[in-house]
């Protein structure tokens, strides 16, 4: 009986270690290493951590804008110049 309890406890410890490892990996991927201990202290699962990290990324991620302003360009765009040359 005691042996079964010890095996069950070891199994739980292994599950907990795997969960902590997964949380650590998720935080490192998200460049949020500073949140690892916070998530573990609050008893969050790896799935809950993933949701929180994705939510924080989507809230902080800004739209990427790509624009070339005319006043910054000293000469005509080479692609436009080539297209105009083909038309003539």
Q: Which of 3, 41, 5 is nearest to 23 (CA)?
A: 41
Tell me the residue range of the domain where 46 lies: 2-62
CA distance 69 to 60: 26
In this prediction, residue 64 carries a pLDDT of: 57
56 domain-assigned = yes
**Does residue 52 belong to any structural domain of this protein?**
yes
Residue 33: what pLDDT?
Answer: 93
* pTM score, whole prediction: 0.62
Helix (H, G, I), strand (E, B) or coil at 24: helix
Q: How many domains does the chain have?
A: 1
Residue (of 61, 63, 39, 41) closest to 51 by Cα position: 39
Q: Examine residue 84 and state whether it is found in any structural domain, yes or no.
A: no
Task: Confirm if 50 and 62 have CB atoms less than 8 A apart.
Answer: no
**Residue numbers in the chain where pLDDT is lower than 50:** none
Note the pLDDT of residue 6: 86
């Amino acid at each position: 009986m005691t042996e079964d309890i010890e095996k069950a406890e070891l199994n739980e410890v292994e599950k907990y270690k795997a969960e902590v490892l997964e949380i650590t990996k998720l935080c490192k991927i998200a460049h949020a290493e500073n949140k690892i201990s916070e998530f573990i202290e609050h008893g969050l699962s790896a799935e809950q951590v993933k949701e929180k990290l994705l939510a924080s990324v989507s809230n902080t991620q800004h739209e990427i804008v790509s624009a070339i302003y005319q006043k910054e360009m000293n000469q005509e765009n080479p692609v436009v110049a080539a297209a105009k040359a083909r038309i003539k």
